Amino acid sequence: MSYKLMLVENDIVLSKAIQEYLIDQGFNVYIASNGLEAFNLANQYNFNLIISDIMMPLVNGYELLEKLQNTKALSKIPVIFLTAKGMTKDRIKGYDMGCYGYLSKPFDPEELVSLIKNLIARDISQHTSTEKCDISKQSINQKIHLTPREASVLDLVIDGLTNKEISTILDTSIRNVEKYVSRLLQKTNMKNRTLLVKYSINNKLLDNVTNQRANDGTRTRE
């Protein structure tokens, strides 16, 4: 697989561990220790994806994403945030800025690989279709039916939980969670989890399935 990734992480031990794991999965992986170094590398190499920590010296993850988006040649590179920051407001900030995904440390490396593979699949789909997916053009009145289990999974995705965390809460396999997330993306015509969260919140997608969640036998949240 020729997919070229850049990992931006100031923890050298962690970055090496993640790099080795991703290389074993068949990816080309470059490493940067801060956002400034990452930005310089992005100008030298044609990356398909950037996986970045947020709290870093010189240029942090948010600043890196902003610099990329303000550079025409780099503005389309998707960014996955990998960080210890887990507060909802931090996830929302990343989503609002346009990050592709958001994983909180500690994380399951399989979850990261799943995000990457989903991005690859979406890229392939975009190249073979002229359909443009724009959340601002989605009809608020569009009727989308969710099964009780899909509603439960969506509820947890909006909370920013990983597939592994969702599988534990719902007492099911990670593979099943991935299947439900894929269904949700198809039903909403969204290309990634970030847009799925935005679309669901903006269109109050879960408002009509409260009773379904209660009947699904999963957790009840305040």
Closest CA to 207 of 157, 151, 164: 151
Closest CA to 163 of 222, 116, 220: 116
pLDDT digits 0-9 by tens, 145-180: 888 899 899 989 998 888 888 999 999 999 899 999
The region of weakest confidence among 27-31, 46-50, 105-109, 132-136 is 132-136
State residue 209's pLDDT score.
57
Residue-range domain boundaries for the chain:
4-127, 135-215
Cα of first residue to Cα of last residue in the chain, in angstroms, is: 44
Confidence band, pLDDT 50/70/90 cuts, at residue 29: very high
Fold of 135-215: Arc Repressor Mutant, subunit A (1.10.10)
- pLDDT score for 212: 46
Please report the pLDDT score of residue 211 as a whole number.
46
- Residues 61, 46 contacting (CB under 8 angstroms): no
* pLDDT tens profile 40-94: 999 999 899 999 988 888 898 899 999 999 998 998 899 988 877 666 777 778 7
More confident residue, 83 or 25: 25
pLDDT of residue 139: 45
Higher pLDDT, 110 or 211: 110
Based on the number of CB atoms within 10 Å of its own CB, is 70 exposed (0-12), middle (13-18) or buried (19 or more)?
Answer: exposed
Output the pLDDT for position 153. Answer: 92
Could you report the per-residue pLDDT of 87-128, keeping only the tens digit for each? 677 777 878 888 888 887 778 888 888 888 888 777 666 555
Q: Which amino acid is at 31?
A: I
CATH top class, domain 4-127: alpha beta
Structure tokens at 66: 């902003």
* 123 vs 139: which has the higher pLDDT: 123
pLDDT of residue 123: 67
